[in-house]
Amino acid sequence: MIRDPESFTILLDTISRFVRDTLIPREPEVVDTDEIPGDILAQMRAMGLFGLTIPEEYGGLGFTTEEEVLASMALCYASPVFRSRIGTNTGIGSQGIVIDGSPEQKQKYLPRLAAGEITGSFALTEPAAGSDAGSLRTTARRDGDHYILSGSKRYITNAPEANVFTVMARTNLQSKDARGVSAFIVDRDSPGLSVGPYDVKMGQRGSHTADVIFDNVKVPAANLIGGQEGMGFKTAMKVLDKARLNIAAVCVGVAERLLDEALNYAKQRQQFGKPIAEFQLIQAMLADSKAEVYAGRSMVLEAARKKDSGPNITLEASCAKLFCAEMVGRVADRAVQIHGGAGYMQVSAVERLYRDVRLFRLYEGTSQIQQLVIAKHILR
C-alpha cells in the first residue's frame, strides 16, 4: 500500500538522485576506507532514512511494507553497504521493539533510532547457533529486578556502531529449544558488554560485523521485550519475516544495477567488429537476467502488498528471500561473464558486487532454511 502516491514518488526520486549523484560516485572510497563517510551518514540522517519504518508517532516515516521495499530497491541500486548501515535501524535492530515492545520501551528507544542518533543491532546468532537459532546458549538469569546476561554472539551486523542491541537469550535454563528464549534490549554501555574487532569478510566492505560478548551484563527486567519470558524466539522470527522480505528487495535493487552495468558494457565493448550486445549469446544472458529481475521485483511487491493488507506472510517472505537471493547471484555471475576479463578486475563494480551479493544466500536465514520454512508451510 502506498499511502500518498504523489509524495511517495517525490521521495523515491530523491532517493534515486541521492544514489546516482552521491552514493555511486563514493563507492570506491567506501571500499578503500572500509567506512561509510561521515558526510554521507549525515545526509542519510537528514533524509530520514534511519527511520523509514519506525511509526510516525515515534519520529519515523511510518513506511508501509510496499513503501519500504520500493525504497530498499531504489537505495540498493548503489552498493548494498549503504543500506546495511541504516538497515539495522529500519529493520532487525528496531523491529523487535516496534512489534512486541512496551509503550515505555518504544518511547525510550524508537525516536532516537528513527533520527539515526543511535544505532540498533540484532544479536541472535552465536558460535554454536546459526541456522538452529533456537538452540542458542547465551543465558539471562533473573536476579531481583534485573537479568544477568552471559554468553557471546557472532557475526552481528553493525555491532561496532551499535548503541543498543536486541539480544535473544535463554531465560529457561532447563530448556534447550526455542521455547526457553527471551528477547532483551541491552544498552551498549552496560558494564560487561564488549564488542570484538571487525570480522574480515569476503565482501561488503564498509559494512561491519563483529562478536558481542556478555560477561555478566546486568539488564533491567523492564528491558525484557514484551514483558514476558519465553516469547523472544517468536519476536525474533517475526522480525525476520519482515527482514527477509526486505532482503529480497535489496537483492532486486542490486540485480537492477548489475543488469545495467552489464547492458552498458555490452553496448560499448567492441569485438569482432561490433558491440558485443549484438551477439545473441550475450543477448541471452541479458534477457535471462532481465526476466529474473522482473520476476523478483513482482514477487517482492506482491508479498509486500499482501502484508499491508493484513495476513501473515512468513511463507511469501521466505519464497521471496530464497528466489531473490539466488537470482541476484545468477545475475551477478552473468554480469561478470559479459564483462569478460574486465569483470574479474577489482576496479570493476561487477567484481565487487559479485562478492557482496554472496552474503544474501547466507544471512537472515540461508537459502536452505528458506526452503525448510516453505516446505513446512505447504505441507501443513
Asked whether position 320 contacts ligand CAA by CB under 6 A, the answer is no
CB 91 → ligand CAA: shortest distance, Å?
A: 8
Strands 181-187 and 193-195: unpaired
Asked whether position 122 contacts ligand CAA by CB under 6 A, the answer is yes
For ligand CAA, which is the closer residue by CB, 59 or 80? 80
Read out DSSP for 321-355? HHHHHHHHHHHHHHHHHHHGGGGGSTTSHHHHHHH
The answer to whether the beta carbons of residues 270 and 278 sit under 8 Å apart is no
For ligand CAA, which is the closer residue by CB, 101 or 134? 134
For ligand CAA, which is the closer residue by CB, 172 or 337? 172
Query: CA-CA distance, 299 to 317, in Å (whole number)?
Result: 9
CA dihedral 22, 26, 27, 30 (to 10 degrees): -130
For ligand CAA, which is the closer residue by CB, 49 or 350? 49
Q: Which of 94, 125, 166, 171 binds ligand CAA (CB under 6 A)?
A: 125
Asked whether position 234 contacts ligand CAA by CB under 6 A, the answer is yes
Total site size for ligand CAA, rule CB under 6 A: 24
Query: CA-CA distance, 13 to 22, in Å (whole number)?
Result: 13
Asked whether position 92 contacts ligand CAA by CB under 6 A, the answer is yes
Asked whether position 157 contacts ligand CAA by CB under 6 A, the answer is yes
Which residues on adjacent β-strands are paired with residue 224?
184
Biggest alpha carbon–alpha carbon distance for the chain:
79
The answer to whether the beta carbons of residues 169 and 221 sit under 8 Å apart is no
Which residues on adjacent β-strands are paired with residue 166?
122, 185
CB 100 → ligand CAA: shortest distance, Å?
A: 10
Which residue is catalytic, options 66, 229, 261, 364? 364
Residue 364 among the catalytic residues: yes
CB 279 → ligand CAA: shortest distance, Å?
A: 39
CB 234 → ligand CAA: shortest distance, Å?
A: 4
Judged by DSSP in three states, 273 sits in coil
Residue ranges that bind ligand CAA, judged by CB under 6 A: 92, 122, 124-125, 131, 133-134, 157, 177-179, 233-234, 237-238, 240-241, 314, 363-365, 369, 372-373
